[in-house]
Structure 1
Amino acid sequence: MTSRERTRIIGLYTRPPDDATVVCADELGPVIPRTFPPAPGWSPDGHRIKNEIDYSRGPEKTWVYGGLRVRDGQQVTMCAPSRNSVFYQQFLQLIEDANPAGDIYVVIDNLSSHNSVATRAWLEGHPRIRHVFIPVGACWLNPQEAWWRIFRKAALAGQSFADPDEITQATRIATAQLNARARPWRWGRPASPTRQLRRRYVYLI
């Protein structure tokens, strides 16, 4: 990855084009119906929370598509049984519907379904959407990855799912809750808070 590529992507977050929307997109999964371990924490008796490992593989897999709007932190999610061009185009349509004005810059990785012939043909009919591909091995440039960590704790941690419909319902509820308290996503580490001293003592020697 060149510094020019990195600067271009970061520039979309810090200095977005006028009358345009920047959306960071990614897929989470596959999420399989099973019992997920609880979020890290402490029990009332002062011990780490433990949970029996429950691992399984099966045909009922769910992929969660997510798109983070950087300017206000609002999220668009969609669950699908597979990760392919058809469902990705459906997800792009949701993003376009959620942003009816101006161009839409979608920051995404180089998965084959994101740049397939079918997807490129679909984009010709939706000129407002413009792809910005993240270089290989630079997923840290996509804030959606950080949102997934928040989502896992809100929707999956400590939950037991019997089928994909329950995963879809948990995704919908968690997305609504997180959007209700969403804030703009700013690039970079925030400054450390200034410590306010309640009392100040002067010692004379």
Structure 2
Amino acid sequence: MSADTVRTWRRRFLERGVDGLYDEPRPGAPRKITDADVERVIAKTLEEKPKNATHWSRKSMAEHSGLSKSTVGRIWRQFQLKPHLADTFKLSTDPLFVEKVYDVVGLYFNPPEGAVVLSVDEKSQIQALDRSQPVLPIMPGMPERRTHDYVRNGLTTLFAAFDVATGEVITALHRRHRAAEFKKFLIRIDKEVPAHLQIHLICDNYGTHKTPAIRTWLAKHPRFQMHFTPTGSSWINQVERWFGFLADQKIRRGAHKNVQALEADIRAWVKDWNEDPKPFIWTKTAEEILDALANFCRRISGAGH
């Protein structure tokens, strides 16, 4: 606080003792909303739900509490309560969660010498969707408009290996999503990565990554080393962020009359990306990740240990 504020409170204490430290009456109309009113709104918001609804609105809380909608809104803003919003979360139950976090994050911060680290996954069931009517282009004062309904024109799956050091991506498109296609993708990686480099693959725990056929192939190619992310923790796999860029920039608002057109667009987008690749900068250490998760578990009710 400012030096003037300190001087004011010291002077009031010298003049009137402890009584001088109480707030003096403020000018203006007396306060109409009591602390009990505020406490009642907060308690209702946190501990109860309205009848026949999943969450409170300003209108329903105002009717229940007898306060105005604007007053309810001010109380919620003051205490950062947002009943209309809901977020998602999932805590991993992997018994080797800590070990896997240290393993994967260690590869991001300290990649082995003479090796390439690839973040690998599949974006499955990418739909070739075409709108039922032509898309209307953006105009001054009017956003791009499209029909809410669409026609499904088939599916494809994108296999991707994201080089965490350079940002370059090795990809392959297949119509099916089986261990056989994953094996073909491993063969492609083996051909494209220089033979003198070891290959560390960061994968999730999907069944196609662990079949006997895949294990047999890996045993015959010892330069490949698999590192599995914890179950339910796709956020730690960098290729997922790359998939997000692809979806935002090419797929989500795209219109494709067939799978071939969709795959051509994906190949073109990947080619442009690899002409100017950008790696992601990983900033969280394993200790920081584990501390953040521990704090979250302490905050949520019923999480136990």
| Residue 65 (1) aligns with residue 159 (2) | yes
Unaligned stretches of 5+ residues in structure 1: 37-42, 190-205
For residue 168 of structure 2, what is the aligned residue in structure 1? Answer: 74
- Secondary structure at the aligned position of 2:282 is classed as coil
* 1:199 corresponds to: none
Instruction: Please identify the structure whose Cα radius of gyration is greater.
Output: 2
Q: Which moved more, 1:46-55 or 1:165-174?
A: 46-55
Structure with the greater relative contact order (CA < 8 A, sep ≥ 6): 1 or 2?
A: 1
Q: Does 1:181 pair with 2:276?
A: yes
Give the aligned residue type for 1:90. K
- Quote the Cα distance in structure 2 between the aligned partners of 1:56 and 1:137: 32
Give the number of equivalent residue pairs: 183
Give the whole-Å Cα distance in 1 for the aligned partners of 2:228 and 2:274. 25
Q: Distance in 2 between matches of 1:26 and 1:46?
A: 40
Q: Which amino acid aligns with 2:218?
A: L
Distance in 1 (CA, whole Å) between partners of 2:258 and 2:130 is 11
Q: Per the alignment, do residues 52 and 116 of structure 1 end up closer, same or farther by CA in structure 2, a change over 3 Å counting?
A: same
> 108, 112, 125: which is aligned to 2:203?
108
The alpha-carbon deviation at position 159 of structure 1 amounts to 2.2
Offset at residue 163 of structure 1 (A)? 2.0
- Correspondence 1:123-202 to 2 at 5 A: 123-188=218-283
SS at match of 1:63: strand
3-state SS of 1:155 partner: helix
* 1:73 to 1:162, Cα distance in 2 relative to 1, 3 A: same
1:177–1:6 distance in 2 versus 1, CA, 3 Å: same
CA drift at 1:29: 2.4
TM-score by length of 1: 0.81
Q: Could you tell me which amino acid in structure 1 is paired with residue 193 of structure 2?
A: N
Partner of 1:25: 120
* Higher mean C-alpha deviation, range 69-78 or range 49-58: 49-58
Q: Cα distance, 1:72 vs. partner?
A: 0.4
Structure 2 residue aligned with 1:98: 192
From 71, 77, 84, the equivalent of 2:178 is 84
**Contact map agreement 2:128 2:155 (CA 8 A) in 1:** yes
Q: Which runs of 4+ in 1 moved over 6 A?
A: none
User: What is the one-letter code of the residue matched to 2:171?
Assistant: T
RMSD across aligned positions (CA): 2.1
Q: How far 1:109 moved relative to its partner?
A: 0.6
Q: C-alpha distance in 2, partners of 1:111/1:125?
A: 21
The one-letter code matched in structure 2 to 1:116 is T
Q: Secondary structure at the match of 1:33?
A: strand
Deviation at 1:154, TM superposition (A): 3.3
| Code of the aligned partner of 2:98 | S
Distance 1:154 1:15 in 2: 31
CA shift, 1:12, in A, is 0.3
Query: How many percent of aligned residue pairs carry the same amino acid?
Result: 24
- Once the two structures are TM-superposed, the CA of residue 55 in structure 1 deviates from its matched residue by 4.2
Alpha-carbon deviation of 1:56?
A: 4.8
5+ residue gaps, structure 2 = 1-93, 132-137, 285-305
Residue of structure 2 in register with 1:198 after alignment: none
SS class of match (2:157): strand
8 Å contact kept, 1:34–1:54: no
Return the alpha-carbon distance in structure 2 between the equivalents of residues 85 and 131 of structure 1.
15
CA distance in 2, matches of 1:29, 1:85: 13
Whole-angstrom distance in 2 between the partners of 1:54 and 1:178:
31
